[in-house]
Homo-oligomer: A and B are copies of this chain.
Amino acid sequence: RPSAVRMPVVMTVAKPGTRSSSQWQAIHADIEAHLKKAIPVNPPPVVLEPMHHLTFAAPRSTAPALCVAACELVGGSRDQAMPAAAALHIIRAAAVAHENLPLTDRPAIRPPVAHPFGPNVELMTGDGMVPFGFELLAGSGDPAGGNSGRVLRAIVEITRAVGSQGMVHGQYREVEYLLSRVQGSRDDQEWAADHVWAKKEGDLHACAAACGAILGGGTEEEIEGLRRYGFYVGMVRGMTAHGGGGREDRWSNAVVEDMKKLARKALAGFDAGKVEAVASILDCGIES
């Protein structure tokens, strides 16, 4: 039985006036604590042990932390975003588990990961994690507290971002892209890679930021601004972590800098004094 797996953390020095890397770490720690409380390690251990493992084994995403930060930017409290952040973390971790499942028709195109539980259990554990994520979020709706409508809207946002037109589509394109990397023109490769990160990281971060704004009571303008911001954050994350689809590094860096500019532009409507707390995620070295 594997012991608890710690997520790797890369610390960077914070720029003056921004939310420091340690503040982002604090958000991550809050989300992790929320998840650990939510996932009991009780019977049946055949189900809950692998769930615990797979939930924390996945490389950390910045999307859940962005959800919390977006909620705080529009004046909401951290608690209001926490169930959505936890749901995003769990559902994405399930997708990562299924990505790494060895299948008879899927060549080993991704770097190998440890499989302490075997494919049958990993498949079913992932299948259990997705409804659990939605349960955490749906269960946070309080009809008496009047947030039911917001929670339902966040659920719809997440279903779209992780479903067949979002994350799953990105995963499918990624397999195609990885299989064809050696062939194909460079333009094709660049476009294919951008498409993968748009679906797997752009849409996910856009959804996370929008959900935070929805749950924190943001205006429609704030929600859409943060959605655009999240999309560019996700693209920056995807391209930085996974490369620019065969582009030369110099050119790839230029595209990333461009995305960062677009991201900051999407925050133009917000209070300049508060905006840096969210914008600093662009320069944080936390593993994407």
Q: Which residues of A contact B (CB under 8 A)?
A: 44, 46-48, 51, 91, 95, 98, 101-106, 118-121, 123-132, 134-135, 138-139, 141, 143, 148-149, 151-152, 155-156, 158-160, 162-165, 168-169, 171-172, 175
Contact = CB atoms under 8 A, between A and B. Distances in A.
A104 B172 CA distance: 21
Contact of A171 (B104, B124, B160, B172): B124
Contacts of A91: 131
A128 B175 contact: no
A128 to B, nearest CB: 3
Contact of A138 (B102, B120, B159): B159
Contacts of A152: 138-139, 141, 143, 148, 151-152
A125 B95 CA distance: 12
Lowest 10 CB-CB distances: which A-B pairs, in order?
A128-B164, A143-B149, A148-B148, A135-B159, A131-B159, A131-B163, A138-B155, A141-B152, A128-B168, A47-B164
A172 to B, nearest CB: 6
Contacts of A48: 164
A164 B125 contact: yes
Nearest to A95: B127
Q: How many copies of this protein are present in the complex?
A: 2
B135 A156 contact: yes
B119 A106 contact: yes
Contact of A159 (B101, B104, B134, B149): B134
A118 B131 contact: no
A95 to B, nearest CB: 7
Contacts of A47: 164-165, 168-169, 172
A239 to B, nearest CB: 22
A91 B105 CA distance: 24
Contacts of A127: 95, 98, 126, 130, 168, 171
Contact of A103 (B123, B128, B139, B158): B123
Contacts of A98: 123-124, 127
A278 B95 CA distance: 39
24 contacts: A46-B172, A47-B164, A47-B165, A47-B169, A91-B131, A98-B124, A103-B120, A105-B119, A106-B120, A125-B164, A125-B168, A126-B127, A131-B159, A131-B163, A132-B159, A134-B159, A135-B155, A135-B156, A138-B152, A138-B159, A141-B148, A143-B148, A148-B148, A148-B149
